[in-house]
Structures are given as C-alpha cells and as structure tokens.
C-alpha cells in the first residue's frame, strides 16, 4: 500500500481539523468529504483536494477508499462506523466511542467481523476489532501524557498514591449538538472521557465511581467531580467543567503523586478552545529525592492530532492492530463516564463490571 486513502464523514470542526492534518501527511490522501451541509462539504473538499458528497454509500462503494474517519456527533457513531466496517473499511472514530455500552459492543462486534472477513483470525474479539477500529482518544498521543505513561511503566513513581486530573472550559459554542444529550451524552461523557481514559491507562481496571457536581435547574451537569477506585487500590479524582465564565481559557492539568516521585503538567490554551493559538503550557515536571527533572526536551510539542493520524495510518499500512485508542480502552472510559452519570443521578457510588 502506497498511501492510505481516506473518506471523512462529517464536515464540522473535527472533520475540518482532521482533513487539514491529513492533507499535510505524505502517506495519506483525502479522497472524500461526506456531510449534510453541501456548502461546507464542497469548500472543505476543495481545500484538501478531495471530492464532496452528501451520500455515505458513495464513499463506501469507492474501492480506492482504505479508511473512514468518523467525525459526526457521538449519537451517530455506531451507525456510521458499522456501515463503514461492513464495507471493509478501517475506521478511526472520534471519541467517545458511543453513548451506550451496547452501542460500543455492536461496533466492536462489527470490527471483529470485518477483521475475520479480511483473513485475520488470531486473538479474541477485542484484539480482532483493534485491527479495524480505533477510537480517537488523542491524549494518548499528547507528548506530556505519553511521558507520564512512560514514567509510570519505568517505576518512577514507585506506585501511584494519588492521581488528579482536571479539564475546565466554557460551554462549547462550535456545534449546536453538544446541548442535545441524545447526541453528546453531556459534559461528563463528551469532555471528561478524555481524563477517564488517562486514569485507566495509568491505574488499570476501574471498579467503583462516585460523582458529585453542579447543574442549572433546567439543564444537565456542568461542573462535576468524579472519584474512581481501581482494582489495584489506586484512586483518581477527575474534575470537568463546562461552567467556566466566557473569559476563562480552556485549561487542563494532571498531577501524579507516588511513593518515590511526583509529576505535574498544566495546559492553558490561548482562548476557549484547546486548539486556540498562543497556548501557555507549563512543562511536564518530575520531582523525586534527586531533585527536579524536565523529562521532555523543548520543541517536541508536535500536533497530537497529526501524531494520532500518523499512528493509525501506520497500523493500516502494516495491517496490524492498534494498541492505543483500542475499542476496549474506549469502552472502559465510556463505562466510567456512564457510571459517573448514574452516580450523579442517584447520589450513590456505582460499581463497574465490564463484560467482553
């Protein structure tokens, strides 16, 4: 395979971001942009050298399309992804994987079946699915979060005693569907799932979730605290918000405290979106008995979205399963999010039981 040819479904903010990133990658090309807004579709297609259509079947019937990027509202993920998988296309789907665990399971089953039809037979259902389906949990490609994972695997923390993650934002204005729970799942599912995924990557299998927060009288939860307990005894405290004032910049942070060391990273965007320019990130800092260390060299801050795409393209070209952004990892993060919503609704702790 020379270049991986993409069909992008969705011409909104994420579809535009991915299309422009793909157009700059030598190993990829954008063959189709598919969406409901003909003007947006035509404009974006002309910018990246692809064809525009409002008909998904036209994209999936094209034998030159190797992979499909699903950038539609979350409530539509399952149907679009399964159609693409049944057409034999590899799929990179935006996070969260879906709105329910049943939907996630249906996507995993369809991806595993696509792998079997392609002659891949080794491994269980989840491993088979990872050959054809990746979920865009982009923090796994953010250099500072990658380095935190590496430090943990090297034993630099000596066992994590405390994990704190925070993601604060104004209410998103770049798409109307965020306010529709049937499409987005709300802030807990759409925004906080990023940090639930990182917590699981560092601490393992989640067991119980306890959540509390604030919401307007006639709206959904806007500022939420979530305490996650893991099978190994670890705990993570995650804070997410869409309640910040309009002038408040998008801000995220992570702090890991262990018996032998600690690390901290804080990111403040130049505006209300994570992609706004003039960002003001603090460097990742690792603290230990030997002193202070800055694990990452200056200048490594490559675009995480481009790095995620390059990783997916490599997996497609080499016909191998993804190991980051796997369907099972995404389903686990979604399970935490749904348990948090249940805890908010009931005022009780909620157990998590993941079945394969």
User: What is the fold, at CATH topology level, of the domain defined by 4-138+305-324?
Assistant: Rossmann fold (3.40.50)
Between CA 78 and CA 84 the distance in angstroms is 10
CA dihedral 147, 153, 155, 159 (to 10 degrees): 100
DSSP 3-state assignment of 263?
strand
Sign of the dihedral defined by the CA atoms of residues 127, 131, 137, 142, in that order: positive
DSSP 3-state assignment of 324?
coil
| Average model confidence (pLDDT) across the chain | 94
- Kindly list the distances between the CA atom of residue 12 and the CA atoms of 16, 38, 186, 187, in Å, as whole numbers in the listed order: 6, 12, 18, 19
- The first and second tokens of residue 227, run together, are 């305490």
pLDDT confidence of residue 330: 98
Indicate the CATH number for domain 139-302+336-351.
3.30.360.10
Give pLDDT tens digits for 20-69: 999 999 999 999 999 999 999 999 999 999 999 999 999 999 999 999 99
Name the pLDDT band for 279 (thresholds 50, 70, 90).
low
Please count the residues of the chain: 356
- Kindly list the distances between the CA atom of residue 69 and the CA atoms of 114, 132, 166, 322, in Å, as whole numbers in the listed order: 16, 12, 28, 15
The pair phi, psi for residue 243, each rounded to 5°, is -110, 5
Which residues lie across from 286 on neighbouring strands?
Answer: 263, 293
pLDDT confidence of residue 282: 84
Q: Locate the domains of the chain by residue range.
A: 4-138+305-324, 139-302+336-351
pLDDT confidence of residue 275: 61
End-to-end CA separation in angstroms for the chain: 33
Check pLDDT > 70 for residue 301: no
Name the pLDDT band for 277 (thresholds 50, 70, 90).
low
Check pLDDT > 70 for residue 278: no
pLDDT confidence of residue 31: 98
Give pLDDT tens digits for 149-176: 999 999 999 999 999 999 999 998 877 8
Q: What is the pTM of this model?
A: 0.95
CA dihedral 7, 10, 14, 17 (to 10 degrees): 50
Let me know: does 92 contact 70? Beta carbons within 8 Å. yes
Between CA 100 and CA 331 the distance in angstroms is 9
- Kindly list the distances between the CA atom of residue 26 and the CA atoms of 10, 87, 246, 322, 330, in Å, as whole numbers in the listed order: 22, 25, 39, 20, 28
């Amino acid at each position: 395979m020379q270049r991986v040819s993409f069909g992008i479904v969705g011409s909104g903010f994420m579809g535009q971001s991915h299309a422009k990133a793909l157009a700059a990658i030598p190993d990829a090309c954008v063959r189709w942009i598919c969406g409901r807004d003909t003007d947006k579709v035509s404009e974006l297609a002309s910018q990246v050298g692809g064809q525009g259509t409002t008909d998904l079947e036209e994209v999936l019937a094209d034998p030159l399309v190797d992979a499909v990027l699903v950038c539609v509202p979350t409530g539509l993920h399952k149907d679009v992804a399964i159609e693409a998988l049944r057409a034999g296309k590899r799929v990179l789907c935006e996070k969260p994987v879906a709105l329910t665990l049943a939907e996630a399971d249906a996507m995993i089953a369809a991806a595993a079946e696509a792998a079997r039809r392609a002659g891949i037979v080794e491994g269980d259902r989840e491993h088979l699915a990872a050959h054809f389906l990746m979920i865009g949990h982009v923090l796994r490609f953010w250099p500072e979060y990658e380095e935190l994972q590496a430090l943990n695997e090297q034993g630099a923390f000596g066992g994590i005693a405390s994990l704190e993650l925070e993601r604060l934002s104004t209410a998103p204005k770049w798409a109307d569907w965020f306010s529709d729970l049937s499409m987005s799942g709300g802030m807990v599912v759409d925004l906080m799932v990023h940090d639930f995924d990182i917590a699981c990557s560092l601490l393992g299998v989640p067991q119980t979730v306890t959540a509390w927060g604030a919401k307007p009288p006639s709206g959904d939860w806007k500022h939420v605290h979530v305490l996650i307990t893991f099978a190994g005894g670890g705990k993570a405290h995650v804070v997410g918000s869409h309640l910040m004032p309009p002038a408040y910049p998008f801000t995220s942070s992570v702090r890991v405290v262990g018996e032998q060391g600690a690390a901290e990273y804080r990111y403040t965007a130049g505006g209300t979106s994570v992609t706004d320019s003039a960002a003001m990130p603090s460097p990742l800092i690792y603290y230990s008995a030997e002193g202070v260390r800055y694990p990452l060299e200056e200048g490594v801050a490559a675009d995480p979205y481009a790095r995620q795409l390059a990783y997916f393209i490599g997996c497609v070209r080499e016909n191998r399963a993804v190991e980051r952004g796997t369907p099972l990892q995404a389903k686990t993060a979604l399970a935490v999010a749904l348990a948090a919503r249940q805890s908010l609704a009931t005022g009780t702790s909620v157990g998590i039981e993941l079945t394969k």
